[in-house]
Amino acid sequence: MSPQASGSEVLQIDDLAVTFATDGGDVKAVDGVSLSVRSGEVLAIVGESGSGKTVTAKTILGLLPETATTSGVVLVDGDNVIEVSRARLREIRGAGAAMVFQEPSTALNPVFTVGWQIAEGIRAHEKISAKEARARAIDIMTRVGIPDAEHRVDYYPHQFSGGQKQRIVIAMALVLNPEIIVADEPTTALDVTVQAEILDLLRRCRDEFNAAIVLITHNMGVVADLADRVAVMYQGKLVEEADSVTLFNSPQDEYTKRLLAAVPFIGAGTAKTRERAKERAEAGPGTTVVKAEGLEIEYPGRLGKAAFRAVDGVSFEIAAGEVLGLVGESGSGKTTIGRAIAGLTRVTGGSLNVLGHEMLGFREGDFRPIRHDIGFVFQDPATSFNPLQTIAECVAEPLIVHGKAPDAAEARGKVDELLEAVQLPRSFGDRFPHELSGGQRQRASLARAIALQPKLLIADEPTSALDVSVQLKVLELFAEIQKQFGFAALFISHDLAVVDMLADRIAVLYHGKLVEEGIGEDVLVAPKHPYTQRLLASLPVPDPVKQAAKRKELDRIRGLEREGVLSEAE
């Protein structure tokens, strides 16, 4: 526990209950929750979607909609935020408690500079000149690690990377030196390396600003890395609370035990990988489905800028029935390769053969007959489904497009079979995408991808936004479906533990180059390239003691990077 955590109590929640009025009747989201946080302490609230953790967090800042009915006590800065006036609530927000939202792209206004948005919070609470507000914005941007803050204070949100945008949002939360920071899934969509940097920043917020942090997350590795205490919620109730070491080493509640058991970890897939490798060796070499040799993909420059090479001389193969895991941080080229295999991005050099078809200089008319042999599972099914169509109509779409069925009604029998294959009731076909949970939508997305019984399936970050318990079910389903249908798969992810569970082989990309390839036992247990070592050191593990040791290892590797060891090894 941090030394400051013994400070004064800055948040007190007593018997909190929150009920939402809906067309189907009242829904109790939070039921009798009591919590407290001291200055300099990190309290993690964990649980799967629908557990009430985010609703509890939003209550701290009075951010619930008008449909919510709230009772109990939530004391912030000496006031019960449930009962205070709107004017007093505005004073508390920012100065007493501040929020770091899950998705910085939606939290930041795209038409204003980040400096203006940081200064706006200062001006709302203090009488200060524009020059002074700008200076404070530059100072806080520098303190959260934004390079060249004097110039970048005038940049717009789209000019920052995902990790930098999250730093900007944290800067906005810190600028008024609040007593409490509520961080709602602050690292969910970030690569493990960027995630490690954000966790370091939050740790500094606790130590340097003496701020209390309420961390909302489903990532148990993040909890082990940062939290002093952990509160576990299930169906609106608080089922367990303990310090992080005690909770991870000796969980008491059955739900907590299931939650921890669902967390993927490096080495979990070693036995499966060996078994699959033995089976493939006995079966002999299979047909090559994808073969890349010296693959190059460039995006043309604009406004006089040079072309950007996203993929640089990459070579790999995927055999029939094999799962290749492709890992690397954002910008490494992994999604570009997936899109090139699907014919969605042009190959500019080398060779890429997909199902016997050369993709360098291909014509759409020649490739169209092969498209029905390629399935695609997108990262966010909520945006890949048509919100105006039912799930059955969405799943039937490939069958209709490729002439396997005249319309959705005729395809319904096949659709029902597909839904059952991905363990969804047939009746779910009559629902719309927004009526399904995240895990259910991803199952439906998988059903659509296998509708034409493809020979190759491309899965691009299909589980990154799912809770660990839901993620485990989807991964187990993916493995089961892959074994049943026998398709080859390219599984793209930044989560090494997830890839370890599924992949026969793992390929690591760094700045468009393939730096390491092999079975999980070699790549993840005994990595040779410094970049792979940094990826593994950046991945938090659900054990506070082991995670503390990993943090030291990551600091050592970062030190080597600063000395130029990584760049020399490329």
Q: What percentage of the chain's residues is helix, strand, coil (to nearest 5)?
A: 45, 25, 30
**Pair (42, 25) in one structural domain:** yes
**Pair (385, 485) in one structural domain:** yes
DSSP string, 181-250: EEEESTTTTS-HHHHHHHHHHHHHHHHHH--EEEEEES-HHHHHHH-SEEEEEETTEEEEEEEHHHHHHS
Q: Which residue has the tokens 């991808």?
A: 449
Q: Residues 280, 322: contact at Cβ < 8 Å?
A: yes
By the 10 Å C-beta count (0-12 exposed, 13-18 middle, 19+ buried), 561 is classed as middle
Closest by Cα among 21, 24, 29, 22 to 50: 29
**Coil vs helix vs strand at 319:** strand
Residue 114 pLDDT > 90: yes
Q: What's the whole-number mean pLDDT along residues 26-42?
A: 91
376-404 per-position pLDDT tens digit? 888 777 778 888 999 999 999 999 998 88
The residue count for the chain: 570
**Pair (158, 190) in one structural domain:** no
Residue 538 pLDDT > 50: yes
Q: What's the whole-number mean pLDDT along residues 551-568?
A: 71
What pLDDT does residue 252 have?
93
What pLDDT does residue 467 have?
74
What pLDDT does residue 434 have?
83
**Pair (109, 37) in one structural domain:** no
List, in order, residues 6 or more apart from 405 with CB less than 8 Å away: 396, 399, 411, 414
What pLDDT does residue 111 have?
93
What pLDDT does residue 210 have?
87
What pLDDT does residue 566 have?
52
What pLDDT does residue 301 have?
77
What pLDDT does residue 4 have?
44
Task: Tell me if 71 is assigned to some domain.
Answer: yes
SS in 3 state form for 137-180? HHHHHHHCCCCCHHHHCCCCHHHCCHHHHHHHHHHHHHCCCCCE
**Coil vs helix vs strand at 404:** coil
Q: What's the whole-number mean pLDDT along residues 468-472?
A: 77
Task: Tell me if 553 is assigned to some domain.
Answer: no
Provide the number of structural domains found in the chain: 3
Task: Tell me if 569 is assigned to some domain.
Answer: no
What pLDDT does residue 473 have?
81
Select the more confidently predicted residue: 523 or 291.
291
Domain at 373, CATH number: 3.40.50.300
**Pair (88, 152) in one structural domain:** no
- Distance, CA of 294 to CA of 352 (rounded, Å): 8
For β-strands 323-327 and 488-493, DSSP reports them as: parallel
Q: What's the whole-number mean pLDDT along residues 295-305?
A: 84
Residue 366 pLDDT > 90: no
What pLDDT does residue 189 have?
66
Select the more confidently predicted residue: 66 or 304.
66
Question: In which band, very low, low, confident or very high, does the pLDDT at 272 lie, cut at 50, 70 and 90?
Answer: low
**Pair (202, 116) in one structural domain:** no
Select the more confidently predicted residue: 80 or 27.
80
What pLDDT does residue 75 have?
92
- Distance, CA of 440 to CA of 449 (rounded, Å): 14
Domain end (from 226, 244, 261): 261
What pLDDT does residue 271 have?
60
**Pair (212, 170) in one structural domain:** no
Domain end (from 175, 195, 216): 175
**Pair (417, 510) in one structural domain:** yes
Per the prediction, the chain carries an average pLDDT of 86
Percent of the chain with pLDDT over 70: 93
Integer CA distances (angstroms), 243 to 98, 256, 544, in order: 24, 14, 10
Q: What's the whole-number mean pLDDT along residues 104-125?
A: 89
**Pair (476, 525) in one structural domain:** yes
Residue 253 pLDDT > 90: yes
- Distance, CA of 292 to CA of 517 (rounded, Å): 14
**Pair (452, 422) in one structural domain:** yes
Q: Which residue has the tokens 């952990």?
A: 230
Select the more confidently predicted residue: 3 or 456.
456
List, in order, residues 6 or more apart from 548 with CB less than 8 Å away: none
Question: In which band, very low, low, confident or very high, does the pLDDT at 268 lie, cut at 50, 70 and 90?
Answer: low
Question: In which band, very low, low, confident or very high, does the pLDDT at 194 lie, cut at 50, 70 and 90?
Answer: confident
**Pair (516, 484) in one structural domain:** yes
**Helix H segments across 250-360?**
254-261, 270-283, 334-341
Task: Tell me if 549 is assigned to some domain.
Answer: no
Task: Tell me if 202 is assigned to some domain.
Answer: yes
Residue 470 pLDDT > 80: no
Q: What's the whole-number mean pLDDT along residues 161-179?
A: 86
Domain end (from 226, 261, 296): 261
Quick one: how many helices (H) and strands (E) in the chain?
Answer: 24, 20
**Pair (296, 159) in one structural domain:** no
Q: How many CA atoms lie within 13 A of 202 on its CB side?
A: 34
What pLDDT does residue 565 have?
57
Task: Tell me if 355 is assigned to some domain.
Answer: yes
Residue 569 pLDDT > 70: no
Residue 465 pLDDT > 70: no
Residue type, 192: V
Expressed as residue numbers, the domain containing 159 is 103-175
What pLDDT does residue 532 have?
87
Percent of the chain with pLDDT over 90: 34
Q: What's the whole-number mean pLDDT along residues 277-294?
A: 77
What pLDDT does residue 535 have?
85
Residue 183 pLDDT > 50: yes
Q: What's the whole-number mean pLDDT along residues 39-45?
A: 93
Task: Tell me if 508 is assigned to some domain.
Answer: yes
Select the more confidently predicted residue: 218 or 168.
168
* Predicted structure pTM score: 0.79
Task: Tell me if 559 is assigned to some domain.
Answer: no
What pLDDT does residue 314 have?
94
Q: Which residue has the tokens 């700045």?
A: 511
SS in 3 state form for 484-495? HHCCEEEEEECC
